[in-house]
Structure 1
Amino acid sequence: MKTINAQLINYYSTAIKVFFIACAALVATNTYADEASDIHQLQTRWAEVKYATPEAEQEKAFAALVTQAEKISAQYQSAPSLIWEGIVRSTYAGAKGGLGALDQVKQAKKLFERAISLQPDALQGSAYTSLGSLYYQVPGWPVGFGDDKKAKEMLLKGLSYNPDGIDANYFYGDYLLEQKQYAQAIAAFETALKAPARPGRESADAGRKGEIEVALNKAKQHL
């Protein structure tokens, strides 16, 4: 009898453990699905504001998007959500302009650095690419933290994770263009134009390709 009771106890104990493991897995799966959906909505709205909203209306639209991005990153505290809050903030800074934008890019910098500390390869190294873009676009000391050497380091790191990516190659090309390395910039832009399409991000791809074409023509004019 004792042996039977012990077997029953072990059976039910194992069954309970399996049940809770299954529940935990289900919750994790649902959370991941919710996060992916929320980030996709953020990406879609970002592309709408950046590429399909009149320039005069972009600052206000990006300000609202910052609030949405903050909520998402606060909820999930994951590298992808932090990266996208950083992207939204840095793009908002570009629309805002002037010294008032510095606070946004400083916050974006911290978000990208935190994302790297959590998951360096998140979104194919997008935190490195985004951080690199800040380093070459933001003024240097004493106004900001701009640093061309760090920019190159971060951009190359981003490319190491996503060598064929449209954004990784575009921003590296844009950096090279600013450095007056025109032939190398052209090569990077041409690689960016050949990048694989990103499912669900058709508007962003189309908008980015428009920017690449402009930059590519600018680089070619200098040769």
Structure 2
Amino acid sequence: MKWMILLLASVIAAPVWAGDLDSELAGIQARWAEIQYQLPADKKEKAFENLAGQAEALVDSYPDRAEPLIWQGIVLSTYAGAKGGLGALGLVKDARKSLEKALDIDPAALEGSAYTSLGSLYYQVPGWPLGFGDDDKARKYLLKALELNPDGIDPNYFYGDFLIEQDQPERAREYFHKALNAPERPNRPLADAGRRKEIRNKLDAL
């Protein structure tokens, strides 16, 4: 069972909000990157569990905004990746619900990051009867993400990774190189560095 999910989300370009939402969401973004790229593996599950609680509180505070729901989906997805096994299935189902709610509110929020995250879930989660994995849905969501953010590091990375799963390594290489050349994201240096390391590892393995 593959739970690399979720790397999902460095997915996001630095957005523009006002007031407390800006600072609170920036805090979740920064903590996510620290856990994902700096903590040892045996510390990640508990750390993501705690961060999921913070993300839930932020969603409760801003129920009509898509951005907190997107990051809730991202945190739950990576929490599932750290947890692994059948126990992670409930978490990814909750992540999917959060991301779908975000799309209902504002499909273009965070440059279409909900589409990137949903696409990633659909190709990495097991299919029926264990999970909801579906390669056709994954392709649809990932291509929509690229339509909204064609030069972004994460849409290109995840579509490249999906193409590896589809036994299309040369096409995957094309998207990985585009991801490596993506613009730096303001205030996301740790997430960008971690993602680029992942991309280079994928390219080395091709």
Which residue identity is paired with 1:54?
A: P
Alpha-carbon RMSD: 0.8
Identity over aligned residues, as a percent? 58
Question: 1:87 pairs with 70, 74, 88, which one?
Answer: 74
Q: Distance in 2 between matches of 1:218 and 1:116?
A: 34
Determine which of 171, 181, 191 is the counterpart of 1:184. 171
Per the TM alignment, residue 147 of structure 1 is displaced from its structure 2 partner at its CA by: 0.2
Q: Give 4+ residue runs of structure 1 displaced > 4 Å after superposition.
A: none
* 1:53 maps to 2:39: yes
Helix, strand or coil at the partner of 2:163: helix
Runs (5+) with no aligned partner, structure 2? 1-16
Partner of 2:28: 42
Out of 110, 118, 122, which is 1:135 matched to?
122
Q: Deviations over 1:26-85 (max 9, x none)?
A: xxxxx8321011110000000000000001110011010000110011111210100000
1:205 and 2:192 aligned: yes
Alpha-carbon distance between aligned partners in 1 of 2:54 and 2:122, rounded to the nearest angstrom: 25
Q: Distance in 1 between matches of 2:203 and 2:109?
A: 28
Give the number of equivalent residue pairs: 189
Partner of 1:22: none
Length-normalised TM-score, structure 1 = 0.84
* Shift, 1:210, TM fit: 0.6
TM-score, length-normalised on structure 2? 0.90
Structure 1 spans left out of the alignment, 5+ residues: 1-30
CA distance in 2, matches of 1:216, 1:163: 20
Please state which structure has a larger fraction of its residues in helix. 1
Structure-1 separation of matches of 2:19 and 2:78: 26
- Return the alpha-carbon distance in structure 1 between the equivalents of residues 204 and 167 of structure 2: 14
Instruction: Give the SS at the match of 1:180.
Output: coil
Residue in 1 that maps onto 2:48: 62
Separation of aligned partners in 2, 1:80 and 1:173? 25
Which of the two has higher C-alpha Rg? 1
Compare relative contact order (CA 8 Å, sep 6+) and give the higher one, 1 or 2.
2
- 1:103 counterpart letter in structure 2: G
State the Cα deviation string for residues 14-36 of structure 1 (Å, max 9, x = none).
xxxxxxxxxxxxxxxxx832101
- Mapping for residues 1-223 of structure 1, pairs under 5 Å: 32-77=18-63, 78-219=65-206
Q: Distance in 1 between matches of 2:144 and 2:22?
A: 24
